[in-house]
Amino acid sequence: MPFKRKARAPARVAILRQANLARAELANAMNEFGQLLLAKHEEAVSRWSEQPRFVMTTTIAPKLMIVEVTPTGPFAVRWPWIDKGTGTHGPKKAPYIIQPKQPGGRLVFQTGYSAKTSPIANSNAGDGSRSGPWVSTQLVIHPGIPPRNFTKKFIEDLMPEFRRIMNNAFRRALRRR
């Protein structure tokens, strides 16, 4: 019966060990960056009366590392509407119809609104108050909500910090033996 054994050269073992150390350091760095990204999301909705909650997940695969922050809770559906926009400003690029819940009912609202957030990720823009004359109608063709682009702005703002965190992780991995 032939004897089978995989040869392990000392250099190969050292390289594999170093790769595993680097992978562990990078995973820790991704979690650190994920916490920063999560804090940015939570800060953006801190003044909202109906806030979504956020959950951070990190996926580590052999050739890929992903940090994902996703909204959760009963108000989670509002995050993509405000972040990416709706109607003519959003993915569908078309206005939408708003009708009363009860057939034959009427929509009653004020025409002015000062949003708490504004486009290009200004999370402290207004006070959320309504103003203007009251209107009563059976149908509204709404142009949509302009996107606030929070996610895009967070990535842009945190990119230098991401680079610093990842470079430090590589340096730590190379120093470890």
Q: How confident is the model over 95-130, as pLDDT tens digits?
A: 999 999 999 899 999 888 777 776 665 566 667 777
Phi and psi for 67 in degrees, rounded to 5?
-110, 125
2 is a domain residue: no
Assigned domain for 5 exists: no
What is the reported pLDDT for 162?
95
Residue 47 lies in a domain: yes
> Domain for residue 70, yes or no?
yes
Higher pLDDT residue, 17 or 124? 17
Q: What is the predicted pLDDT for the residue at 7?
A: 53
> Are 25 and 169 contacting, i.e. CB atoms less than 8 angstroms apart?
yes
Interval 64-81 mean pLDDT? 94
Overall domain count for the chain? 1
Please give the pLDDT value at position 130.
79
**Residue 3 falls within a domain, yes or no?**
no
pLDDT for 25-60, tens place per residue?
A: 999 999 999 999 999 999 988 888 899 999 999 998
Grade residue 3 by pLDDT with cuts at 50, 70 and 90.
low
At 62 the pLDDT is 81
pTM above 0.75, yes or no: yes
Helices (H) and strands (E) in the chain, counts: 3, 6
For residue 95, tell me if it sits in a domain: yes
pLDDT band at 81 (very low <50, low <70, confident <90, very high): very high
Average pLDDT, the chain: 87
Determine the structural domain holding residue 128 and report its residue range. 10-175
Give the pLDDT confidence score for residue 120 in this predicted structure.
64
Query: For 4-127, where are the E strands, in sequence order?
Result: 53-61, 64-72, 96-98, 107-113
Q: What pLDDT is attached to residue 83?
A: 92
Say if 104 falls within a structural domain: yes
- Residue 17 counted as domain residue: yes
